[in-house]
Amino acid sequence: MSIHREGYKILIYGLLILILINIITGILIGDRILFRWVAGFITVIMYLFLLFFFRLPVRHIEPDPGLVYAPADGKVVVIEETMETEYFNDVRLQVSIFMSPLNMHSNRYPVSGKIKYVKYHPGNYMVAWHPKSSELNERSTIVIETESGKEVLVRQVAGAVARRIVTYAKPSQNVRQGDELGFIKFGSRVDVFLPPATDIEIPILMQVKANKSIIARI
């Protein structure tokens, strides 16, 4: 277990702000020791939450071209055929995973292959489970072509709290299943668009983990 690099700056600034809050609180409340302890306890809990949010567990996998792993931790909120209009312009099988602020927010490549398409879209900040969030929210779309020629689209979608999507994928890059795709800060979802004939291995509302849960077979 380690701390994700995307959290370094926030953790440093957060620590300085919380120290400042404690100093100001100490000045304002004077000698009331109980209130100082309460303020200190609350700020420590807040900082521990930040550390917990930016955790980066070690999850190694052996790539398997026949499997699609979950790209994120969270709850499966969508399994359905849907028209994908940004890249495929046809019907695909969509699997969406909602990440609460308590989930690990590092996103992983669900398959190995070559990056065919990467595009970032600024947008709104609807709640991540809203059906239109995949089309209207801030989002980043990545398409991976597997060795067998099948294309898998992964879409990082910001939620009502998230304000920054980080995507590491670059066009024409060869990527390995399980490696880090990116990171979304504070509450969000990840959509995976698969070929229509894909065999889904998970039920709706199941809790899944990136690099641990197999969501489909292709």
Query: Mind telling me the catalytic residues?
Result: 188
Q: How many CB atoms lie within 10 A of CB 152?
A: 24
Q: Of 118, 110, 112, 117, whose CA–CA distance to 71 is shortest? A: 110
Q: Which two tokens stand for residue 195?
A: 């070929």
Contacts of 113 (CB under 8 A, 6+ apart): 144, 145, 146, 147, 152, 174, 175
- Sequence-ordered alpha helix ranges (H) in 1-114: 8-29, 33-53
Rounded to the nearest 10 degrees, the angle between the axes of helix 8-29 and helix 33-53 is 170
Reference 215, options 47, 33, 24, 71; nearest CA is: 71
Q: What does the buried/exposed string (b/e) look like for 176-198 if buried means 16 or more CB atoms within 10 Å of the residue's CB? A: ebbebbbbbbbbbbbbbbbeeeb
Q: How far apart are CA 130 and CA 126, in angstroms?
A: 7
Give the closest residue to 186 by CA, choosing from 203, 202, 165: 165
| Distance (Å, whole) CA 18 – CA 37 | 14
